[in-house]
Structures are given as C-alpha cells and as structure tokens.
Structure 1
Amino acid sequence: MSLHIATGLPYRTVREDVRIPLPTGRPGADGSEVTHLYARIWRPVTDEPVPALLEYLPYRVTDWTAPRDQQRHPWYAGHGYASVRVDVRGHGNSEGLPGDEYDATELADGVAVVHWLAEQPWCNGRVGMFGISWGGFNSLQIAALAPEPLKAIVTVCSADDRYDNDVHYMGGSVLAVDMHAWASTMLAFVSRPPDPEYVGTDWRGMWLKRLEAVDPFIHTWLDHQTRDAYWRHGSVSEDYSAIKAKVLAVGGWHDPYRDTVLRLVRHLPDDQVRGLIGPWSHQYPDRGLPPGPAIGFLQETLRWWDQHLKGEDSGVMNEPKLRSWISESHPPATVYPELEGHWVGDPAWPSPYVTPVEYAFQGEPLLVRSPQHTGLAAGRYFPFGNDADLPPDQREEDANSAAFEFAVDERLQILGRPRVRLRLTSPSPRGQVIARLCDVAPDGSSTLVTRGVLNLSARYGRDKVAPWRPGDTEDVTFELNGIGHAFPPGHRIRLAVSSAYWPWIWPQPGSEDGFTLDPAGSGLELPVRGAGDRALDATIAFAEPEQAEPLAVIHPAPEDPAGRRPERLVVHDVAARTWRLDVDPRYGGTRIYPDGLEFHEDALEQYTITDDDPLSATTRSSWTVRLRRPELAWDTEVRTRSEITCDAGDFLTSNELTCSEGGEVIFHRTWERRIPRTAG
C-alpha cells in the first residue's frame, strides 16, 4: 500500500506546549511543592468542546518521538479531537524524578492527566488513550484504574502480563536478549537532559537531580525472578473486569506481545473489546515498515474514537471480535517488505472455527543436548522493521535440536497458540526447554513459524521455583506464541526441541547436560482453523495508510556508508569454541530537528557464550547519546556501559554512567551488584 499525506482535513488545527500541574497534595519526589508534566497539544479550531486523546510516554515529545507524533496527533486534531502527547515525570521536559517503568506514581500521574484534560474548557469531558509499547501498556493499566472520563483506549503492541509477556522473562526464564538490552537502553534514555529551549536555564539543575536518582532497571528486574507482587502490579490480567473503557487491542505476528490481543478478546465482553492482529513488527500498522502490508490505521482508530467518544455509529462494533491476518507460507528471510496472506474474522475467542488437532511424536527416547550457541538464528526479540530483524533459515538450529516432522497432504492453516506436551527426564535440577514450530519446504529450507519456552523450575507456575529432582521423569506442557500461518501441501511441519536458546534465554547452570525426551509421552497440538465464514472474511478491508504531513527532520548521510557497522554479526572463534553476536539496534542514528536540535545516538549490544559452558554467558551494551544546540552553545553527552555475567549462584551486573556538558564530565557513577539466581 502507498502512504497518503492528508491535506484539507475537516478542521484547521493549532498546537501549543503546556505544563500540566499535578494535583496539590502530591508533591514531586524532588521536594518541589508541585510537579508539572510537559505536554504538547494539537487542537481543532472550533468553538465546540471536543474529546481529548492522550498518548503518555517517557520518550521525549520534543525530540525522540517527535517524527512519529507528527504523523498522527495533527491528523486526529484535523478530524475533531484534541490530541495530547505528555512526557512521563522525570523524562523529557517534565519535572520530577524518574521512576521504574509503570510504577504507581506514573499511573497516578496518568489518571491525574486524564482528569485535567476532561476539565479543560475545550474538552467535552470524554477522554481516550492510545499508544504503542510503553504507551500501550500504560493505556491498559490506567484503564484498569478506571478514571471516569476515560471512555476508550487503543493499545498497540502491549502486554497484559508484565512478567511473562514483556521484555524480562519468557516461560519463567530470564530473557537475556532483551532484559539486559532494554535495561541498558533505559539507563541511557532516562539520563538524557531536559532541553533548555523548552525549560530555560534551569535545565542543568533538573538534569543533575535526575541523575542522582537514577538506578539501573536491571537491578529491580533481576531481584524479582518469579511472578511476585512486583510483576502483578500493572498486569491487567490479574483482573480484566477492572477495565471499564472500550478496548481496541492491536498486535502483529512479528511482535512479542501479540498474545495479549488473544487474551483480551477472550476475557473482555463482546460489547467492550475488538482485536486486530496483522503481519506487522513492533510498529504502528500505518508506518509501512516491514513486514507489511500496512493499513489505514489512523482511519481505523478514528472509527473507534467516533463510536465511543462522539457517540456516532461508525460500524466498528459490527466488526468480528477478532480480525487476524493469516500468512501464506514464505521462504526464510530476515526481512519481508510484504507477506502474502489474507484476513479472517472470528466472532469470539476461542473461535468456533478453530479446532485443536493432536500430532503424536514417534521414536525412541533421545538425548537433547544442544550446543549453548543454539539460538543465534533466533532473530531480534523486538523486530522494528530493520533488514536483519527476522529469523533466517532454521536448518542449523534444527540440527542442534530434536526434530519431529509431519507431512502436509492438504492445505492447513493455524490460528492461535500451539501447545506442546513433552515427557522429559532431566539429570539436573535446573534447565530450560525450547520448542520451535517450523515450515519446511520441499527444498529443505526451514522457516520459523512460532516458538515457546519453559524454565523447568517454573513448570508448576511462574510464581514458584520447583527444582527438578535429578533422574525423575515428568510430563510438561506449555504454549507457543500465537500465530496465523498456512502450510501448503507438500511442505512438512517441524517441531524442533532444544535445551539452549542463546541469547534469547539465559542458560541455567547444569543445562549443558540437556535432558532425555521420550516421544511416547510427547506431542504437538495445533489450533487448526477451518474455512470459517468466508463471506464475513471478504468484508474485512482497510483504507490506504494516511498520515499528517511529516516533520522536516534531516538525517545526515554517514561519513562512510561502506564502513557502517552490520546490524547483526556472528563471530565464531573456532579454536576456543566461543560465539559472539554483535547487534546494532539502529533506533535512529543522527538527526537534526526543525527547531535546530542535533540529536545523535549510537548503541552496540554483544552476546558471548562458549559451546559447552552455560556459565560463560555474557551480555554487554554500550550507548552514546549527544544532544546539541549550536545557537545556545549547548552540548551534552550521555555514555553508558553495561555488562552481565554469571556463576552458578549469582548474576553479576556492572553499569557505568558518564554525563558531560561542553566536553567536561559533570556526573559519573558506577554500580556493581551480585544478585542471587533464585529462578534464573
């Protein structure tokens, strides 16, 4: 689909930057009497009060998300909504000190902002919230607090379970690939200074107060290795009935959070929720980033707002409860501009059109003892639409796993979460099992369809640690991530089981011994979707993507494009049997904003392991962020360095933060922590 830049919108718009005061009686943690949050508001020019839409993030409205904000907020304003973008306390140009992600203060502030918006003379008292990732999370969480003015939300690429469907843990196992990478990213992000262009000469004092309050997120996240009260906070799966607003839940099959959409449409009433899952990565579905096809997402959300904030019958509640994209079989590749497939509609979830079908394993018991580097072809945990995001051919990974295959005699399409049942005998109290579902073509190429993980000590629940009794045999069952995929005749379904998956999963001590898998007690359950209602499916259609006129950001060309660092580079020291994965996350590089701000960022993640030693696992991350305004003689830089290593009993974390102004270091701190491996 081609992108259309909207002109001639129904309303002329105005933009203003304001500071929203939080209620008295809730002083800032920095000792100030009142804390103000920085907000940018786009409003339609009209004498009539209109609904307000809120996007609430820590990612800096005046720079980091400004290009994305410009695509959608002015568009909503041009269609009769006050569209508001607010920086979370202690971030960007908002006052106060930063806290942990989604902490009680952030959510209470969000509730206060909802009420403030509803009370403005230009607002009709009805508020919606939307956002992707962090903004999608807190939209759900604030909806669960049920402020009266909040009538509807659109939550994109977010999670209802902060423990088992976020960047920290998967199947009860530590997510080495993103727990560390995201904690390191946030250490750099939270340490960026306020902008003197917007906060004036007090920027330096604000910055230093923030820096004194910084503590790496990784400490807290590793301190809570089971699903305890820390993770239950903010997990709306604890009580879906607390959500009173109407919920449009959106995800992509290449986003790690897509299972939340399936759970929300399952647990919320028919008149409260609609779900939409496309082929997309961790992006808004109108941005045109691979894999596509993109859709007119702003128009789709406008239907949602018109229905629930203006009381207009837009027909959005006549749509199927869940609209899903089913991808056709495709060869393995790390990027797809667009995938072939089709839309299907299901009136409920679980769907009456989906039937669980069992596939029994065959063969004698076999030892699964995967090399520790198994998983290097897993792809990026958070695909963003970059060239090296998605998993390449899985044949090498399959060779390091126990593989079970099933012939496809006629077209088979699945929709939902496959489930595996495995009979295992483990010689070690600790370990993990990873299952990957692959589509194997006649030429032998293997395309990853979906996967799942189980920490063996979490087999009785994510809230407890139950070491395996060495030598015992037990049956374990776990689900793989949801997917919509069609296997064509002549292909084979492959279920590959491994005992390692680095760097996604941090290996357990003793896991080098693997486990024995008995096919006689094992099998695969696929959610097979029948034809459904083809007439209904045929009605599912979306407009072409449309956005507001883009922000005039300049992206200078790199000085040496040929020497640009690869996105993903695997280095194998053959003699030492050591593997290293270098990852350039490519969040944005250098850009120059229309207001004159020069913003530069550079990051490198490294993951190292030796084939037969799970205790050799090491993650490293480094960040450089520079913000510069030549006209103000303002030049600041943030540098971070983070590392995690381990021994049998502990994780060892090391973090360093260095902040400079005009080339002079004004803040430097290091943190060294030893954190017991209670479950990880």
Structure 2
Amino acid sequence: MTDDLAAKLASVCIVEPLWIPLSDNCRLSGRMFAPPDFEHTPVPAVLELMPYRTRDRSRGKDTQTHSYFAARGYASIRIDIRGSGDSDGVMVDEYTPQEWADAVEAISWIAAQPWCTGKVGIIGLSWSGFNALQIAAQRPPALKAIVTTCASDDRYNDDMHYMGGCLLGDNLQYGATLFTWLGTPPDPLIVGDRWRDMWIARLEAVYPPPLRWIEHQERDSYWKSGSVCEDYSRIDAAVLAVGGWADGYTNAVMRLLSHLRSPRKGLIGPWGHAYPHFGMPGPQIDFLGYVTRWWDHWLKGVNTGMMEEPQLVAWMQESESPSNTYQNRRGHWVAEPAWPSPNVTRHNLLLGNGRLQGTVEPASGPIAITTTSPDLGTDSGEWCPYGWGADMPQDQRMEDGGSALFDTAPLSEPLQLLGGPECRLVVRVNKQEAMLSVRLNDVSPDGVSRRVTYGLFNLAHRHSQEVSDPVPVDQPVTVAVKLKDVGYEVPVGHHLRLAVSTAYWPLAMGVPHRLKLIIDSGSLTLPVRSDHSRIELELGDAVCAPYPEHHVVRPSHRGRLAVTRDLQNSITRVEVERSNGSFRLDDVNLTLHSTGTETYTMPWSDPAAATAEARRSVRFERAGGDCEVNTISRLGFQGNFYVFEGYLEALENQRTIFKREWNEKIRRSGAPVA
C-alpha cells in the first residue's frame, strides 16, 4: 500500500448509521464511507445491499472494501436490506420484488443528496451480486454501472438450490444458515428501545428457506422472478461480471457476455466464493484497484482505457496434483477480445466401449452398464467452495471406480478448454426416478485423476425444466448434460476421461433408489481454444483497507472434516463444519459467536434412509445481556416425498423467548404416481 493511499484511508469519514427513508415509512440502515470533504465536494456513490449485518457479521470486510472506494473519491455505502441488521421491517425470502423496490428508492434518495453527483454504481458478491443484476433490471435512472461477483443470472438452474433439476445439498446447508440469520435481532444501540419488538416480529415471520425452496422443484414463476436471463434486454447499465473457477457461480459470466447488449466485461480467476482481493486459491489481485478503474470510467467519465481492453480475461488453470485446498492455483492469464470467441470452437467426440474419440465402431449392444453406489461423491468437494477449508475436489480415482468410464488416447499436444462442455447420452434406467452425474477428468500417466468440470441432470426434466415426468423404466431416453464452464489446459501425455454415474452425494441429495444405468450411445462436445496465446497481465497485489480492531476468541473453520465408511453398519457419514468462529468487535462493544455443522448419512443398501442435518447457532454478547438464535434443519425421504424437519429457538439472557417447529412432507417432483 502506498503512503498516499494509507493517508487517504486514514482520513475516510464513516457515517453510522446512515438512515435511508422509504415511501412506506420504513427506513433502511447502512454505513457510509466517504472522502473527508464529501459534504462540500459531491462525489459519485457506490452501493452494496445484502442482509449480512453490516453492524457486526460483515463489519470487518465491509470496512476493508468500502473504505478503499471512499479513499478513491466515492461515497461507498453498505445497506442492510429490509428486515435484516438494523433496517426496519421483516425479511421473508431472498431476492423479492420488495427488496428491489426498496433498492430503487434508496438509489433515488442517494442520488438526490447534496453530497452525491447523481451517479450511482452497485457492487455485490453472492447475494449482493444477484441483486446487483436484479436491481439493474429495474432500470433506476441514476444507476450507471454494476459489478456482479460470484452470482447468477439464473436462479433455478444455476444457483445453490438445483443443478440440472437435481436438488443440491447446498439447498439445505445454506438454507439452514439463512434460516438462522432471518431471526436475529437489531442492535439496541442503533434502533433503541423498539429493538425487542422488532426481534419478535422477525422471529414470527420466519419460514424455513430450505422448505420454501423444496416446495418449488421445477422452473416455475418463483424462480423466474429475479432470473435476469428471462430478459437480458432489461439491463441498460454497464456490467462487470466476475467469477472464480473454484466457485459454484461461474457460468453466468460467459452467459452475461453473450446475451447482454449493454457495455460489459468479464473477469474469471482461480478463486472460490469471495472477492478476488480476498479469494482463495490465489493468486489474489488488486481487485479494488481494478474496480476503481471501472467506476472512474462509468461514474466519473475518466478514460481509464478499460473499455478498450479484451472483453474476457480468464485464468487458464494448469494441471497439478489434486488437493482439497490450495494456497495458489497453477495457471496463467488468457484473454479473448469478445465472447463468444472465434478462437474457441466446438470439437465433438463419440463414446465407445471405454473409448472417447472422433470415431468409434458401431456397438452391437450397450457401450456401458454400471450400478453406482449411492455414496459416490464424497471426493467431490463442495458445490460452492470458499477456498479456505477442505472443500475442493480430491483425486477422482475412487469416484471413477463406481462410474462408467470413457477415455481418450494420451494427448500428443496440449489441449485448452474454455467454456462449457456438453454431453449427450442415450440411457436406460431401472427406476422411474434417476439422476446422472457427468464428470470430465484429466488423467496423468501415473493414474491420478483430476476433476476438470462436471454436470448433473435429473432425468425427470429431460423434456423441460418446467415440467417433470417419471422416467420410463428400461426404455431409452436422450438427455443433454451441460457441464460447468471451465478454463483448463490438459498437458501432453495426459488423457481426458468422461465418468458417468447415478449419484453425486452429498453434493446432490440424489434419489432414494439404487440404480442400474445402461448407456446405449453418447457424445461429448468440448470448447477447444485453438490459439494458446497468453497475456502478461499486471493486476497487482491485493490491497484493501485495514481490518477494524477486533479480537478472535475462536477462529473460523470451514470444510469437510471427515468422511467415515462404517463397515460394521454399512453406512457412510460426512461431517462438515461451517463456523465463522467468535470475535469481539471493540468499536461496537460486541462479541459475535457463529457456529455451524452438518452431518450427512447414506446407508449403502438403502438410499431411501439417507439423511441430512444442519445445525446453526448465532449469539450476540455484550455486557449486561446476550441474544441467541439456534436452528436445526433435517431432510430425508419418505415414500414419494421429501420430509423436512425444522426447529428454531431464540433466547435472551439464556431464557427461551420464542420456539417453533416444522414437520412437512413435500412430494418429489418426478416421483412415480401411486
């Protein structure tokens, strides 16, 4: 960090709380970081809107990010959406029309303030990356540009709920987290004596998010709302779309570049689910400096040269030993002047008896038959890795052993993939419910198998995402499985492997049956980058404002702690921790405790008895009292139904003040009709 930047950071003004009035008499609470002379010299504004409590839970990283923009000449504002943090009202779900309407009002109010030039940008990661796109689709006049990071334009097919129509394990785990934070109280030091009434109102409004999302198993109007892919033309603002190959959200970057007509740029690095100045695996970059160039162009009218640079910049991953965590990911930067790129062409390979090549001899019968163990997938890593725990895919040889395999010959020259492969299969299954897992692996001469990318597909959705049909037993059905976008170079001497199975647990919930899969024929289409040129890109070292003073009581910890195969009882268990730990924030005189665990169980001979359980606990501790929210979320099968059990308890000074339980059965979409 330069001395000049350090001095500017030290002079940043912080307004807390910043109250933003709405037309229905609710107020949104936020923190504003601004240059010292902002009241006399108007500046553009940058917003981030999410429910993750700028007062405490996200206080540190909010300060690191938004202080930086203030030091660069912006009023940078972090707003808690309605019903979260210290904002008025209640929040019942993610990405609602109320959330967008509030944001449009907030933008109008900010643009009209004497300290604002009238030009506004939105930056976001995950939730706030989603609503950056959704708010842009509302077309508020003052909004000129957005930065959307680790988010999606498609809430149904490309979020943590469903993938290819398959229910993801993240639906329960993240849903359990939101279930807990929905019921947390505001800070009495901000909202005053009404804090307890606000808390009770929030608790009474809670409905378990995992349950709500399982109630919508098809692409219905619920998911279409907020999916900007339904009408890209609604977005006029300039869009900088950012992702990481390790993250669960990567596909949207290339879709946005392909379909938006507003000015747009794409940046994809090696990172997990985080801003690239924090992102793991590295290398991290000076992302805030990069984004400042974006803001300077669109909000200040400064020609930074950014729009003359390639439309897509991406990290081309290089083959290395698989690990469940990386400090840095091997690779190099590449660039494409536009996306879709004329430098990327589609190459088609056919599936034969264990082979994957340009031509195969006609088969007299099936080309593969396999019965997958229902616990296949424990080496998958998380659907959405954060990069700072054991959450990345490991050596795939165990998974390959339970799959139908198709291998290419060893490569005589390097192969670069950039984009999304697609696998077309003609298959037969012995049950009316079935899913497919399709993995593309890089296999070295020593046999080590590295997952390059993967896709899932619910066979009940073979005709449409909007309609589910039971699968005809032992009859051929044709499916197209889109694999996740990737940038990856396979070296000389290695070969590609396509692995097909009927389970990917616990990343996906799966089906309550052991399945026999017959593959009659198939093909794989690869996005091959023909020009292997690379760029020497100077994105700088990660720079941000200092983290505010705090004391770590218990470090955060995240990742799969253990996979246990219980030989005596023929069951596999996966134990996961998702704890933000405990830390004391000196400037607000508060200690925040946040813990979470999950346990997944899969009996080998009876997948109908599989269970998933998530426990979460949040406690706010301050001299003179504390508040606590605990939840339990469980999911299992019963006949043709999912069974969800939920429990929520709120305590004040160790005394229960609210308790509620749920026990609901939801028919599985595509399950056979009795």
Fold conserved (TM > 0.5)? yes
Given residue 166 of structure 1, which amino acid in structure 2 is its aligned partner?
A: D
Map of 2:473 onto structure 1: 470
Q: One-letter code of the match for 1:68?
A: K
Is 1:675 the equivalent of 2:666? yes
1:296/1:544 contact within 8 Å kept: yes
Choose the corresponding residue for 2:340, options 337, 350, 374.
350
The equivalent residue for 2:489 is: 486
Determine the structure 2 residue equivalent to 1:123: 116
Letter in 2 for 1:313: N
1:98 to partner: Cα distance: 1.2
- Contact persistence 1:52–1:117 (CA under 8 A): yes
Q: Where does residue 37 of structure 1 map in the other structure? A: 28
Cα offset, 1:106, TM superposition: 0.9
Q: Distance in 2 between matches of 1:577 and 1:5?
A: 63
Q: Deviations over 1:149-197 (max 9, x none)?
A: 000000000100000111100001111x100011111111111111112
Inter-partner Cα distance in structure 2 for 1:3 and 1:609: 54
Q: Secondary structure at the match of 2:650?
A: strand
| C-alpha distance 522-567 of structure 1, shift in aligned 2 (>3 A) | closer
Whether the aligned pair in 1 keeps the contact of 2:642 and 2:665 (CA below 8 Å) is yes
For residues 445-477 of structure 1, what are the alpha-carbon distances to aligned partners after superposition, in whole Å with 9 as ceiling and x for unaligned? 111111001100111221111222112112211
User: What is the CA distance between 1:576 and its match in structure 2?
Assistant: 2.2
Contact 2:559 2:578 (C-alpha < 8 Å) held by counterparts:
no
TM-fit CA distance, 1:3: 11
The structural deviation recorded for 1:567 is 4.2
SS in 2 for 1:266: helix
Does the 8 A contact of 2:370 with 2:517 survive in 1?
Answer: yes
Q: Deviations over 1:384-432 (max 9, x none)?
A: 1223010111110000101111121211111000111112012222101
**How many aligned residue pairs are there?**
656
Relative to the length of structure 1, the TM-score reads 0.94
Alpha-carbon distance, 1:610 to partner: 1.1
- In structure 1, the residue matched to 2:290 is 300
After TM superposition, give the deviation of residue 492 of structure 1 in Å: 1.5
Alignment partners' CA distance in 2, 1:399 and 1:163 = 31
Distance between the aligned counterparts of 2:627 and 2:3, measured in 1? 37
Q: What do residues 337-364 of structure 1 show as CA deviations (whole Å, max 9, x unaligned)?
A: 1112111111222211111112222215
Letter in 1 for 2:340: P
Q: Does 1:376 align with 2:369?
A: no
Q: State the Cα distance separating 1:593 from its structure 2 match.
A: 4.0
Q: Which residue is 1:527 aligned to?
A: 527
Residue among 28, 51, 63 paired with 1:70? 63
What CA distance in whole angstroms lies between the structure 1 residues aligned with 2:19 and 2:195? 18
Q: Give the corresponding residue for 1:607.
A: 600
Task: Please tell me the residue identity of whatever aligns with 1:527.
Answer: P
- Per the alignment, residue 243 of structure 1 pairs with 235
Match of 1:621 among 614, 621, 628: 614
AA aligned opposite 1:439: D
Tell whether the 8 Å contact from 1:22 to 1:109 is kept in structure 2 after alignment. no
Kept in 2, the 8 Å contact 1:10–1:80? The answer is no
Q: 2:561 maps to which residue?
A: 568
How far apart, in 1, do the equivalents of 2:448 and 2:567 lie?
Answer: 25
For 1:587 and 1:629, the matched residues in 2 are separated by: 18
- The Cα shift of 1:13 comes to 2.1
Letter in 2 for 1:149: A
Question: Do residues 420 (structure 1) and 412 (structure 2) align?
Answer: no
SS at match of 2:579: coil
Give the Cα separation in 1 of the matches to 2:93 and 2:29: 19
The alpha-carbon distance between structure 1 residues 11 and 181, as it changes in their structure 2 partners (threshold 3 A), is: closer
Alignment of 1:258-337 (within 5 A): 258-269=250-261, 272-287=263-278, 289-337=279-327
Select the residue among 539, 544, 548 that pairs with 2:545: 548
| Structure-1 separation of matches of 2:271 and 2:464 | 31
CA distance in 2, matches of 1:202, 1:10: 35
Match of 1:180 in 2: 172
1:366 maps to 2:365: no
Q: Which amino acid aligns with 1:204?
A: R
Distance 1:264 1:566, change over 3 A: closer
Shift of 1:539: 5.2
> Aligned partners of 1:383 and 1:430: how far apart in 2?
28
Amino acid in the other structure paired with 1:529: R
After TM superposition, give the deviation of residue 23 of structure 1 in Å: 3.3
1:451 is paired with a residue whose SS is strand
> Residue 6 of structure 2 corresponds to which residue in structure 1?
7
Q: Does 1:252 align with 2:244?
A: yes
How far apart in 1 are the matches of 2:545 and 2:633?
Answer: 39
Q: Distance in 2 between matches of 1:301 and 1:616?
A: 49
Q: Secondary structure at the match of 1:209?
A: helix
Alignment match of 1:397 (pick from 396, 399, 402): 399
Give the equivalent residue in structure 2 for 1:386: 388
Query: Which string of whole-angstrom CA distances, capped at 9 and with x for unpartnered residues, describes residues 513-569 of structure 1?
Result: 232012xx212111110126x4xx4353312211112211211257xx9xx998421
SS of aligned partner of 2:609? strand
Find 2:435's aligned residue among 426, 432, 436.
432
Query: SS in structure 2 opposite 1:615?
Result: helix
Equivalent residues in 2 for 1:93-132, closer than 5 Å: 93-132=86-125
1:93 touches 1:199 (CA, 8 Å); kept in 2?
yes
Code of the residue aligned with 2:41 in structure 1: it is: E
User: What TM-score do the two structures reach when normalised by structure 2?
Assistant: 0.94
Q: Distance in 1 between matches of 2:645 and 2:277?
A: 39
Q: Find the residue that maps to 2:518 and give its secondary structure.
A: strand
Q: Which residue of 1 aligns with 2:207?
A: 215
Instruction: Indicate the SS of the match to 1:508.
Output: coil
Q: 1:15 to 1:160 in 2, by over 3 A?
A: same
Question: Is residue 2:224 matched to residue 1:232?
Answer: yes
Tell me the residue number matched to 2:189: 197
Contact between 1:11 and 1:45, CA under 8 Å: does it hold in 2?
no
The one-letter code matched in structure 2 to 1:653 is F
What is the aligned counterpart of 2:631 among 631, 637, 640?
640
CA distance in 2, matches of 1:4, 1:572: 55
2: CA distance, partners of 1:589 / 1:619: 25
Alpha carbons of 1:591 and 1:523: their partners in 2 closer, same or farther (altered >3 Å)? farther
Indicate how the Cα distance of structure 1 residues 3 and 155 shifts in structure 2: closer, same or farther if over 3 A, else same.
Answer: farther
1:30 is matched with which residue?
none
- Give the structure 1 partner of residue 642 of structure 2: 651
Paired AA for residue 639 in structure 2:
A
Partner of 2:356: none
Q: Alignment partner of 2:588: what SS?
A: coil
> Does structure 1 residue 82 correspond to structure 2 residue 75?
yes
In the alignment, the residues of structure 1 paired with residue 331 and residue 291 of structure 2 have an alpha-carbon distance, to the nearest angstrom, of: 23
User: Which runs of no fewer than 5 residues in structure 1 stay unpaired?
Assistant: 27-33
SS state of the match for residue 635, structure 1? strand
What CA distance in whole angstroms lies between the structure 2 residues aligned with 1:453 and 1:408? Answer: 27
Q: Supply the distance in 1 between the matched residues of 2:558 and 2:178 (Cα, whole angstroms).
A: 22
Question: Is contact 2:637-2:643 (8 Å) kept?
Answer: yes
Runs of 4+ aligned structure 1 residues displaced above 6 Å come to 2-5
Q: Structure 1 residues 342, 167: CA separation in 2 closer, same or farther (over 3 Å shift)?
A: same
Shift of 1:64: 0.7
Aligned partner letter, 1:505 = A
**8 A Cα contact 1:643 1:655, kept in partner:** yes
Alpha-carbon distance in 1 for matches of 2:275, 2:47: 16
Label 1:266 to 1:11 Cα distance change in 2 as closer, same or farther (>3 A).
farther
